[in-house]
Amino acid sequence: MFSLTKAFGTFFKIGLFTIGGGPVMIPFIEKEVVERDQWLTKEEFMDLMVVSQSLPGVFAANFAIAIGYRLGGTRGSIACAAGTVLPSIICILVIALFFQQLRGNTVVENVFRGIRPAVTALILGPIFRLSKAAGITWRTVWIPVVSALVIWLLGVSPIWVIVAGIAGGIARYLAKS
């Protein structure tokens, strides 16, 4: 059963233990709100995630707001958003207090170097899981791969890749009509 307190606590816990930003949070949020608490179905989760990614702003906050609003209206969105961003605010304040002492500390630098591969794995896991839900098959996997390579290697703006995807979708629709 959904409650504002439980929603805040769930998103606070997720925000506290996910280093790497919004994409890293996806599997944790899915586990909590779809599998454990069953607040959303997989389809609702996917829809809210797609909408959240298309909005300007921080994905993690957008996603928390969308889920919170779906579950508890304005108060739900505030509870989920506050739970998501509060751990980061606390961490930033603590780091700011000790920044001069931590700067150049080899232990701290090595910890962050060690975290990078784990964050990459946490991002790749949801990508594979979500690609199935999005209907990407072995016949269509070239589209996101080529899109990523065009952005990464050629420096093309993601906006142009999105526009090309929209144009391709319209052309495919018109060809089938």
Tens-digit pLDDT string for the chain (177 aa) = 889 999 999 999 999 887 767 778 888 999 999 999 999 999 899 899 988 988 888 888 999 999 999 999 999 999 999 999 999 899 888 878 887 777 788 888 888 788 888 878 877 877 777 787 778 888 888 998 999 999 999 999 999 999 999 999 899 999 998
Number of domains making up the chain? 2
How far apart are the C-alpha atoms of 166 and 65, rounded to whole Å? 26
- Same structural domain for residues 46 and 100? yes
Other CB atoms within 10 A of residue 76 CB: 22
Write down the pLDDT at residue 154: 95
Among 94, 93, 67, 62, residue whose Cα is nearest residue 8: 67
Other CB atoms within 10 A of residue 80 CB: 31
How far apart are the C-alpha atoms of 29 and 17, rounded to whole Å? 12
119 contact partners, CB below 8 Å, separation of at least 6: 19, 20, 24
**Tokens representing residue 39 in the block:** 């607040």
Write down the pLDDT at residue 155: 94
- Same structural domain for residues 131 and 174? no
- Same structural domain for residues 159 and 173? yes
- Same structural domain for residues 13 and 66? yes
Write down the pLDDT at residue 136: 85
- Same structural domain for residues 99 and 146? no
- Residue 164's domain comprises 137-177
Write down the pLDDT at residue 91: 85
- Same structural domain for residues 12 and 96? yes
- Same structural domain for residues 92 and 52? yes
Whole-structure pTM value: 0.65
- Same structural domain for residues 149 and 119? no
- Same structural domain for residues 102 and 34? yes
- Same structural domain for residues 129 and 175? no
- Same structural domain for residues 29 and 62? yes
- Same structural domain for residues 131 and 143? no
